[in-house]
Structure 1
Amino acid sequence: MTITEREQQASTTVPDGSVDKPAPGTGHEGQTFLVGDEVYLRAIEPSDATYAPSWKNTVFPKSTEYYEKWIKEDMVKEERTATYLIIRKRDDVPVGSIKANYWDPSVFLEPYVDPIYADSGQRWLAEALTLMLPWLVDEQHRPIAVVAVNSSQTAAIAALETAGARQTARFRDKVRIHGGRADELVFEYLNSLWVKTLGDPNDQPIERSGTGDPRPVPLKVELDGDPPKNAVMVGSRVYLRPFEKKDADEVALWSRRETEPFWSNGRAMRSAVGFASWTEGLEKDDPPEWIRFAVCLRENDELIGAVGIDGVDFVNGCGESESEIHRPEYRGGGYGSEAKHLLFDYAFNRLKLHSLQSFVIFPNTRSAAALRKQGYTEVGRLNWDYTSDGRFANLVCFELLAADWRALPRASRPNANETSAS
């Protein structure tokens, strides 16, 4: 059969005689990679908008017109992100997707399959992962890919292990599934050539400081009068409020005065205009993806830092906690921990979140010790997540479940004699 004959056979003809899309089951023909026994992967095209509920991981319904516009106008502007559709070979129907987030030196994968396909969908997802990982890492010479699945996805877990991926972290009950909750398992797929050159990242021990024992949770404050202006949560020494435009100048000033480079991967230089614009942008998201508070002193309303929840997932009830005290004189005095417990109260009792996660670079043993004192549990590591000291470096993973925080001991209320004596 000639190429022309094959093309004609792989097409359908509409009544007016024009050539329409290829016949079902032939869409993979001619594709030379990312093709398996039951599925193949390809990039998104405008016609895929019709099947968006099967490949877009969201519980909120959107029209076909919405996704057509998103593909043509918004998706094409995305940076460091690409979404690949999982296509069923027998009829070329999209059944899921793998979203790749490129964060050098790692690439983070978000696999998804339409739950309507049940066990068959999980089988297709498993095959798609075995196709994607070698292509992204080995063929494209990347050091590492990281992928998260939940503990009920046994087919995907088996496929990952067969492909040579290994589990490096486990977050308890992080994912909501039909009939309850499941753990989130984090797997890494390493490029063997990079391992040969740099060694196995799991061989690097996690440094620790402090006892790791949690401290009592500060008592809930009972206000005699009105709360501080615009306060959302109030503690004994600090309160949390939304960031205001006027805060930007002070945040930028203190970023220039930072003395410690080990909190993150080096110090950040902030612009007042940039910080104000970024904060304003966070407020426009509805529902918000990142909730952030200014930490202020009750005695004089002075701004000393920030706490927040990034990547808020209202479906699964989780998010990543973050904090910073940008005034050095207030570090080590318990102000940060007090602010964090106010954040926990907000997260677990107001937002009704189920858990919080946190990630700390290996050298930052001080922040890791603070997390343990606040009740977090170490649950694993993310290897080769960023560059530092001429090499790829790792993160420690932590979690705090709402039930665990509520079970922590509470500080005792001083009696009248102690109060008068002080």
Structure 2
Amino acid sequence: MSVTGIASAECSLPPAPVAVGRARRAVREALQEAGGMQLLDAAELVVSELVTNALVHAGTPVSLRIVAEPTALRVEVHDGSSHLPVRRRWADTAGTGRGLLIVEDYCDRWGSTPTLAGKVVWFEIGHLPDRADPTLPSPTDDEVVVPVRLLAVPLLMQWAWQEHASSLLREFLLYALEDDASALAQHAAASAALSLLHEQLPVPYLPTAPDVLMASLIEPDVTAPEVCLQIPASSVGHFEVLDDLLSRAVAAAREGRLLGAPTQPEIVEMRGWLCGEVARQARRLEPVSWVAGTDLHVPGKVPAGWQGLQRELRDSPLAVVATDDSGIIVAVSGPALELMGYGEPTDLVGRRVLVLIPERYHQAHIAGTTLHATNGRDALLGQEVRVPMVRSDGVEISVDMRVESGRHGTGPAFFAAHLRVVGSTPKG
């Protein structure tokens, strides 16, 4: 039987996956009592998203307050994290980051406010007349803050890393949740650290036109000489959790236990440096600048499973360099070896493709490879662009390059860079 009127309810939810189902049930019962069941589909979707966010980003108990009327609904979700929800600049293809888009699409109004114990995120569907937002206490401002100076910050790499880390952490949470009772709390701590970085680290500007993109994403413009962070003392330990959790997630990805891909060595190094700087400077130690430690001149291990592609390119009349999805050169044609000044395929196969890229473009390449591994984003795929490349003798040459993705038989995907010296006519 449908009963019209006003229904209100409050409930406490545990920091566990069952909280989402209980929240949906509480909203359903309130709308049924008020006679507003036409709002149910949108209300269940939004409350599921907000409670899920509270679980994975706060990891604390959640309390729910509901006011339902025949044509309107207000729901407040309270949790113990002080980080307010912020829309992230992730790609449309990203595996995470769409939660607030769902909230915006399916409710009429929503907002968030800090409280003494954390925050409240609320939403409304329909119009609740003359009902102001509740008066909420302001958080105290006397918490000790640790100033952290980050020197020589690679802005492109850290931005790409944040998106990759968010996606990888969410997948690792689902992987670990069944066997590790502490997984939710660890994920919440790591997420809190990422939120602090997202709030305070500058976001690089990324042009959309390929030629402009190539011309603008070079050193020193993509590195900030200094960025100052303000880290609450209570959050310093979250960065240690973030570093440890991502180390385990990357290891799981490398072993094939996750769908997400591991990323470039420099990204792993940067994460260790960044998290380590928070811990070091909390102990009042002097800041240390970021410097990549990976040596590109060390010969790499020749990847297995690429013999067919290597035979195919060996007889190709075109200058082609093929890499796997982690940026390791897996095959190279004779004309490409000649163009770049190398004698044998073994001089390049197994090495990072960065050996062919001028150093001022390294950060852009690492960030682009990371974003592609995370969400398939690649603004330059299929586009012919003019780029500088480095020969074996260190001399830069200008080439027209077009990168295509492909697959040799049933093997893994690869990327083939077709190279042509500027002004020359392609053969074949």
Structure 1 and Structure 2 fold alike (TM over 0.5): no
User: Greater helix share, 1 or 2?
Assistant: 2
Q: What TM-score do the two structures reach when normalised by structure 1? A: 0.28
Structure with the largest fraction of strand: 1
TM-score calculated relative to the size of structure 2: 0.28
